[in-house]
Each structure stands twice: as structure tokens, then as C-alpha cells.
Structure 1
Amino acid sequence: MGYRFGRDDVAFLGSAAGSAALAEVDRLELTPATHLRDLEQVRRAYPEQAAALIETVRLRRKAAVKLPAAAEWLFTDDALQQATPALVARHRAARLAGRAVHDVTCSIGAELAELSAVCPAVIGSDLDEVRLAMAAHNLTRGRNIVLAQADALVPTSRDTVIIADPARRADGRRTYDPAKLQPPLPDLLAAYAGRDIAVKSAPGLDFDRLGWAGEVEIVSLDGAVREACLWSPGLTEPGVTRRATVLDSRGGASTLTDAEPDDIPERAPGAWIVDPDGAVVRAGLVRHYAAKHGLWQLDPQIAYLTGDTVPAGLRGFRIEDRFELREKTLRQELSRRDCGSLEILVRGIDLDPDALRKKLKLRGSVPYTLVVTRIGRAGVVFLCTAVAP
């Protein structure tokens, strides 16, 4: 859970004295090995603020990758965990450029920071007064931002696009039940019925069961699926109900929607296997991706694609051989090929890659990749060499 910050903590940490104290604490290692020594040193210098200082420095270091421009920000542990990565927030803000926006669950302000760069007016509200105080500290340079304490389920603005990020934990555990989010997703959508709204949510939510009439966008960053965003019909293109957006930290971005063609041929495996980005898979756009890049599926029910080329910038697996899924056969073939390190990718088959790797008893030096899947009802193994983008 982390340290529980209060308003007095925020006032001190945001002061000149607090800033100087944080700089001093940041010189400490703060590792498990030095924890007791560092804690004692900070307690001697700042007996009443030691816990808040140590926790803030720890969270700033943790935030460096997710929010690289937030080196002097204040956080709570929960707020940092739920904060949207800066590149993902920037992507969403770009879709809302020029609009007045109200983030009704603004927390410590990660989303507001990106919105304020492209939107003429930005409102942030939250029920948590400590997080609001932190947002006020974090967003001192945002002249077009107004902060207010308000219930997300009680509309307090007009003529704004609503953004919300319901908390995804219930009873201390992650939940995928829309009714158990905080605030509950059905209540949130009812409160803003007829308004333009974008709601961040977990990618694992059952969107078909939700019956969402707008667009569901799945976003990945550097190969990891980060979030889903529900966009109301007024914020998306006609005919688009699913979108996959693939971002990378180097500035690359690509998008794919279900309005694009999905006609692909049925053929035998080509020279390569391609594993589409997780955003494409989660968005249900595997066939659309295949059609766009001249690929086809190994099996209509499996997300692995195949073809004679690999899309630019994507890792591919060159097929060297194909076997039935038999442990003895695999052990013999891998031994004959002097296999050492072995990456095992599995889809459509109930198999533990780590357990299989141990059973294969590899002692060689040549790296390979096994793609274990099924075609029809038969389990099949493709022996591949991986080629980086």
C-alpha cells in the first residue's frame, strides 16, 4: 500500500525546505541492503517527515520510466501504479486536441499534463484531497488547468469532453467486473449519457458483454499492452468500433481499425511466422493486420500469422522445420541441431514452456525458437530462428 500521505506532507514536500530535504534524501542509495542505515539517517535529520521523504524519493525513481518528465512530482503509491504512461496519455491527448476537456478522476495529474499542451481548457477533479494537492504541485506550469474537488458521478462541467479512469481494484484485488470499478463503469456512463466521453479501462474487460456503442481502442507501448480506452461515438470515425494502437518509446506509432479490409487467403505456412502485437490481438484485428501486410493465418482460430515476408519493424520467426508435438522427437531434433538456448512460444495448446524446456535437456550452443500451436485439431511445432526488426 505504501506510505499514507496527508495534506501536511504535501505542504512540506512542496515547500523550499521540502525540496531541499528531498534532494538530500535522493543522495542515499535506499536499497534493501541500506534501508535501516538510510532510514536512521533521515530520521535524525527530519524526524517528522522521514517516511514521507523516503517514500517520495522511492516513487520518483520508480516513475522515471513511466513519467520521465515528472522528476519533481509528488505521488502516492496507488496513484503512480494507475497513472497512464506519458506516451500513452500524449497519444490520447492528440485525439482530443482543440477540445475543452474535464478529467473527472484526475488523481495526481498525469493525464492533465499532456492534455494541457494541446487543449485550450482543462479541468481536473477528484474526491481525494491529497491527490488534488499533489496535482496542484505537479501542474504549476499548466496555466489552462483548473482543479476542483468533486464526485466523478456528479457532472460539474458543460461543453467538455469527459475523461475518466476508474480504479481497477476491489477488495484489494484487480477486478475486470465493470460494476466493481471505482466509480462503477455503468454508473459513470449513465451519469454522462449523451456526452462525449473517453474512459480508460483494463484491456481484459469483456467489451462485447458491456455492449459499448462506440470505439474500443487497445494501446500497447514497447510491446506491452497498457490499456483500453472506450471512446463514445462522437469521438471516433464512422464505422470504427475497434482500434489497435502500437506505440514505442522512440516515437513510432501505428494504428489499425476494424473499418479496414480483413480478407486473407487460406494457404499452407509460408517461410515466416509473425506474432502480431498484443494490441492487435486484444482488439480482435488479427485478420485486418494480416490483410494489411500480405499475411495469412496458420489456423483461423489462432492469432499466429505466416507469410513470405515480415512487416517492417517487426520481429519474425524463420521456419526451419516442422514436427508433431512429441517430446521425444523434439529432444532428438534439438540435440542433433546443437540447440542451447530455446525460446518457446505457445498459443492454442495447453503447455508449460518452462516445464517443456527442462524436459528437453538442452546442452548445445545454437539458439532457436519453438512456436507451439495447433492447426485444426493437431498440435504442431515449428522450429524457427528469430530475426529481430
Structure 2
Amino acid sequence: MSLPPLVAPADRLSGAEAARTARHAALYPLGEIGQRRLRAAHVAIVGAGGLGSPAVLALAAAGVGRITVIDDDVVEHSNLQRQVIHRVRDVDAPKVDSAVRAAADLAPECTVAAVARRLTADNAAEVLSGADLVLDGTDSFDTRLLVAAACESLGVPLVWGVVQEFHAQVTVFWSAPPAGTTATRLSDLYPAGSAGDLPSCADVGVLGALVMHVGSIMATQAILLITGIGEPLVGRIALVDALRGTTREVPLTGSSGRPGAASPEPVEIRAADLIPDTMLLIDVRAAGERERSGVTGAMALPLPEILRDPRAAAERISERAAGRDIVTVCAAGVRSARATAVLAREGLRTRSLAGGIAAWNALGSADPAGDRAGA
């Protein structure tokens, strides 16, 4: 369902803008009036990294009149695999400088405000104030919470994307959408405490081409919202699997509980809530770790085996579970969280032991095996 356009159209385009964006003017239902809406729009992009880079390029090229880019980081060599607005000569320079240069090279009419500040709970709403919508391209869940809270308080749409390894999610959160549209928030997708300690791309890697693809999807969502065309991902989540070449969607219910899928069940379980005798524990540690501190009764299934063939792993676990709740465990909870995410994409509901076996031991209880397990 199309939504009302976010932005009133600018009075006119310059001759250079009209010539540069002529293919948009010919594009139904965007057209010339949609192009003037883009000209009048102000988009804030949090993060000038893997997702922010293609979004800056796409939105500047599309004719967005004003872009605010917020990032307090500098360019590193390892960024260049996926953060396409930066160059080798930019290493050790502020990322926002690359954003200003890249946008100017594409669209001199686009005004780019560079904000080299770290967002905090005290300044996030102030920094994002005035934007018609916000794109979150950050790589820290703590920062994502700050951005989401600021957008909720401002009532502006938040185009949200996340990429890990070969998989991605994209959606639009909006706490104050037009009448007849269900509000959705980050907390509807990740209830408080459910995200756990997510591994970074430095830990597990990320496909550079996929990051650019997802940043472009996010930019497209911004264009749909600004111009009031198409069907933005409000109340829906796009799931991208680069290895299989698929994109599918699932509904997302807002806090009102109106149509959509139920909010996701917790993906973690606390050590205090673990009842090993009634659950199937999946030990995703390496063989050497299990030999040093075994978990009696657990099913041994190292994380690399799950990653190599997730579907086969899910089938093996389902056969063994026999209706029991399934909990993945590792030393500290990072690998088990990754296993739970991978298995979820195969339709298998598991929960990761938050904090891992180290958290279980910290309770002063016996290890699930009856043997204390090392962290």
C-alpha cells in the first residue's frame, strides 16, 4: 500500500538537475513531481560505512537535496572491501569527508552536512532533528538502539538494515505513521535484551557486494517514502540470502498487535532458566574444547558444520529433539548466538545460552553435564 509522500515538492529544478535526473522524470509514477519532492527532502544517514556508503551515492545521484551524514570514525584499510565511498588515500581521514566529496562529485546541487560526532542518548534526537527520515547504517546494536529511540521521539521513519556474513534484513520502523498504518519499532523486532552479544563483521566476516546491495535497497525505501510511491517495507521485513540468491519477506507486528506476525520469541535463554534434563543442548564448540569440559547428554555439532550445511544440521537436530526445547551452547555465547541465527533461517527455533557455559558456571551450579565447563 502506498503511503502519503513525506515531502512537499520543491518549486522547480535547476536546468542541470533536470538534465541529470531526466530518467526519473520519465519514470511512472515517480515523474517530475516526485523528483521535486526528492529535491526538497532532507535525509539523515547514520554511519558512513558499508551501508551508508552506497546510500550516500544512491541518494545524492537520485537528487535528494540535503543529506546529513553522521559518523565519528576514520577510514581503515579493512573498510575498503565494502565501504565504497572511501579510497586508499582516505585511510586515517574522517569518513564523513569521503561522503561530502562523493556526493559533490555526483550531484553538486546536493548539500551534505558532515557531523563527525558520536551519537549518545543526550544528543541523538538533536542531531537527527529536522530530517524527513533516517537511514541507520551503524554496526553497533547499542547505537542502533539510540537511533531508534531518537526516531521514535521525533516521529520520523527509520529505514533499518543489517548485514552479517551472507545474510541481511531490511525494514522500515515508524512510530507515528499515517492513519491506518500500524506503527512498528525496533523493539517489535528485537524486544529488550533479546539481541544478546552479537558478533561483529570483524569476527564473522561480511560479503562486500551484499552490503552495497542492501545499502541500495535502503536508499530505494527512502525514495518510496519521500515521494509516496510503491509499497515501502512498513510492517514487513525483507530477508536477503546472498548464498542462495533469494529475497523473501515476513510480516512484522507493531506493538498494537494488529495484522502481521507475532513479535519474535526470545532468541536467548538465561543460565538461571536452563533446565538441562528437559531440553536438548547443542554444543557448538570444537572437539578439543568438548574433550576438556564435556556437556553430558548434549548433542555435539560444531559451528563450522552448521555453517557448512545449515539445512542438514537443522534436520539432524529436529530428529534428536523429539519435541524438546533446543538450546545452543558454547563457551561464552557468541558462537551459539550465531548458530541460533543460522538455524532460524532454516525454520528451526532454538535459543542461545546467554553468556555461554561461563554464565552457567558463574551461578555456582554444576555444569549441565555435571562437570564444570571451562569458559
Q: TM-score scaled to structure 2, two decimals?
A: 0.32
Structure number with higher strand proportion:
1
Q: TM-score scaled to structure 1, two decimals?
A: 0.31
Structure number with higher helix proportion:
2
Q: Which has the higher contact order (CA 8 A, sep 6+)?
A: 2
* Rg comparison, structure with higher value: 1
